[in-house]
Amino acid sequence: MSNERMINRISVGIVYVDGPAFEINDDEKAHILAEVQEAITGLASNEPRANLTGVYSTLSVTLPTFVPWEGANWPGLSEPFYRSIDDALWSGTTNKIYFFRGSEYIRVDPNNGWQADPGYPKPIAGNWPGFPANFATGINAALWSGTTSKIYFFKGSEYIRVDPNNGWNVDAGYPKPIAGNWPGFPADFAAGVDAALWSGTTDKIYFFKGDQYIRVDPNNGWNVDPDYPKPVGLGWDAEDKWRDPALTALGFPVGSAGVAQLTDFFQGAVAAQFGYVAFFTKMPTAWFAYANSGWPKVVMRRTSGAFDSWTSLDSIFAHETGHIFGAPDEYASSNCVCTSSHGRFFTEVNGNCDNCATTPVNCLMKNNTLTSLCAFTPPHIGWEAFLDTIDAGVHTYTNGKLYMFQGAYYVRYTGFDLDAEYPKKIAGNWPGFPADFAAGVDAAVWGQPNSRVYFFKGSQYVRVDPAAGWAVEAGYPKAIAGNWPGFPADFATGVDAAVYTPTNQKIYFFKGSQYIRVDPNNGWNVDAGYPKPIAGNWPGFPADFAAGVESAAWGEPNERVYFFKDTRYIRVNPAAGWAVEAGYPRDINVNWRMPFPAA
């Protein structure tokens, strides 16, 4: 996985794709790179613990023979007409097709390869006399029918019929609703079309809406043909027309395999943990900025003007980077829903979706704000917990699993393999946990004689019975003071870490630079002579670990004791004098089968 969490060094592999009439000059490239760097720096400022650093690589590809919109279903139109068409008209008089957009229209000749005639677009005004006033100011579509030799004008959900052989007058009984009079229309087309035409060549009728069109067969009950709607232009595969030649020019395979290899190429070159490719171009795309997290790629296109005048590039790139790392769109027109789950490492609903959130906030995935994240984005991009330490760890003999806790989340291991579908939230998965314990615990430990699991938070603790649905037992939480005989006063106010070692059947509690040893087989009393300093009693402890640890856990598969401090851990072998083994401390990152911020 090349982009699981937005942490540590991430490779941003920038590819500039240009060519004649699509040139990206050096100033623009410098601007793009600076904006991309601002995007990652801005994102990183939201969560310093993520240790997020961008490492940037750039490649330039020039495609000298690129032909824009080659392969379009309607060749020869100018680009605005590929974005949207207001209306179109087949004239039986001229045997030509007229596309309308705004105040202009383009004439297409079906007898000349369906290409646009030279000299177009032209203004509508002065060229189309006799329009009814209210339709003349706002026509959505016009259609000349070879069957009826009449012209149909569409506006909103209604249409009128004009008879050119009767002084171009509107027939009686109009306007009528589209719905019910044109069978098989998709609902959005019945609510209003952008353009319509009858073709004498195919004897079919074409309706256009946005970047899509449908085809109606008057000889088949005027029904819409199968497999429609289709895109007018190239749709999302507009990107394929320059991306694949660019990948080929760079020596990579085409398609998603090539982007994946290019990501690895960039990422490996800068020794980053995660990465993705960002294509910048002026060549046609279906949308000006988008991300495909599975490839993984971001595509950003300047449709007109220069890149260096695009000052919001940084925040938009940050938004798209959010997608790469698992964050969903939160703006209303994305059709987001609050109940959908997202995220690569953590899983969280889209709770800030503008369509359903009670009080949606402006933020990265809703408004492209660079340094404002809603509460749901951190879990989506992997920032919610397991950022700066492990709070608690415990091996439970009931099921032979190892649990690790951080903040409101926990993970579970079988052996030393991270189980699927973790991390999970403590809340809802550990029955009876008080709210403050569900928000995070200080320590956890297995109780061997009674086969219970103990969780500590501040001056209190709870006891869980795995044999009774893993539920917190009645009467808890209880105060440590008075219930753990012999605890020093400062340990009773809270502990940092706890671990049961089957080697000697003792429980160790750690607090700052001190530790105590409890004997469950002797009334759970603290052994004589404790507390003791960690330093000098645990051979090989690094100084920062001897000053205090944050969690400890028993590793059953190898019978070792693990201690965690910040983003690192050490391993102790009780069978070898309880000494820290060679090669430690190590980073939690990767060694615990999960990506973790590294120092």
Tokens of 256: 């998603």
Cα dihedral sign, 123-129-131-133: positive
Pick the closer one to Zn ion by CB: 28 or 329: 329
Question: What DSSP letter does each residue of 427-481 carry, written as one string?
Answer: TTTSTT--HHHHT--SEEEEETTTTEEEEEETTEEEEEEGGGTTEEPTT-SEEST
Tell me how far, at minimum, the Cβ of 322 lies from Zn ion, in Å. 8
Q: Which stretch binds Zn ion (CB under 5 A): 139-147, 211-219, 245-253, 323-331?
A: 323-331
| Minimal distance, residue 385 CB to Zn ion, in Å | 25
- The least CB distance from residue 194 to Zn ion, in Å, is 25
Q: Which residues pair with 497 in a beta bridge?
A: 510
Q: Which stretch binds Zn ion (CB under 5 A): 121-129, 227-235, 326-334, 451-459?
A: 326-334
Site track 483-522 with Zn ion (rule: CB under 5 A), x = hit = ----------------------------------------
Burial of 23 (0-12, 13-18, 19+ CB in 10 A): exposed
Give residues with Cβ within 8 angstroms of 94, minimum separation 6.
none
Q: Which residue is nearest to Zn ion (CB)?
A: 329
Q: Which residue number, 365 or 408, has a Cβ lying nearer to Zn ion?
A: 365
Residues in contact with 228: Cβ distance below 8 Å, sequence separation at least 6, in sequence order:
213, 214, 215
Largest CA distance in the chain: 112
Total residues in contact with Zn ion, by rule CB under 5 A: 1
For the CB of residue 178, give the shortest distance to Zn ion in the complex, in Å.
Answer: 33
Say if residue 175 is preceded by a cis peptide, omega within 30 of 0: yes
503-526 exposure pattern, b = at least 16 Cβ within 10 A, e = fewer: eeebbbbbbeebbbbbbbeeebeb
Segment near Zn ion (CB under 5 A); pick from 50-58, 60-68, 269-277, 328-336: 328-336
The distance of closest approach from Cβ of residue 339 to Zn ion in the complex, given in angstroms and rounded to an integer, is 19
Q: Cβ closer to Zn ion: 342 or 395?
A: 342
For residue 343, the 8-state DSSP code is -
- How far is 366 from 356, CA to CA, in rounded Å? 13
Nearest CB to Zn ion, comparing residues 327 and 553: 327
Q: Which of 308, 314, 329, 348 binds Zn ion (CB under 5 A)?
A: 329
Interaction of residue 354 with Zn ion, rule CB under 5 A? no
x/- mask, Zn ion, residues 139-178, rule CB under 5 A, reads ----------------------------------------
Piece of 324-332, 335-343, 369-377, 402-410 that binds Zn ion (CB under 5 A): 324-332
DSSP β-bridge partners for residue 561:
554, 572
Q: How far is the CB of 277 from Zn ion (least distance, A)?
A: 17
Interacting span for Zn ion (CB under 5 A) from 161-169, 325-333, 556-564, 571-579: 325-333
Closer of 35 and 329 to Zn ion (Cβ): 329
Are residues 291 and 301 in contact, defined by beta-carbon separation less than 8 angstroms? Answer: no
Token look-up 């650093």 returns 53
Task: Decide: 443 and 433 in contact? Cβ < 8 Å.
Answer: no
Question: Taking CB under 5 A as the rule, which mask of x and - marks residues 278-317 in contact with Zn ion?
Answer: ----------------------------------------
CB atoms under 10 Å from CB of 228, counted, come to 16
Q: Which range binds Zn ion by CB under 5 A, 329-337, 407-415, 504-512, 514-522?
A: 329-337
Question: How far from the centroid of its chain's Cα atoms is residue 114's Cα?
Answer: 41
The residue among 365 and 453 lying less far from Zn ion, judged by its C-beta, is 365
In whole angstroms, how close is the CB of 319 to Zn ion at the nearest point? 5
According to DSSP, the residues that pair with 215 across neighbouring strands are 206
Contact range with Zn ion by CB under 5 A, out of 266-274, 321-329, 457-465, 529-537: 321-329
Residue 402, both tokens:
């190892």
The stretch among 322-330, 345-353, 355-363, 412-420 that binds Zn ion (CB under 5 A) is 322-330
Q: What are the phi and psi torsion angles at 465 (to 5°)?
A: -110, 100
Residue at token pair 């050490």? 570
CB of 526 to Zn ion, least distance (A): 57
Among residues 301 and 395, whose Cβ is nearest to Zn ion? Answer: 301
Q: Minimum distance between the CB of residue 328 and Zn ion, rounded to whole angstroms?
A: 8
Cα separation, 7 vs 48, in Å, equals 10
Query: Which run of H or E residues covers position 267?
Result: helix 255-269
Positions that interact with Zn ion (CB under 5 A): 329
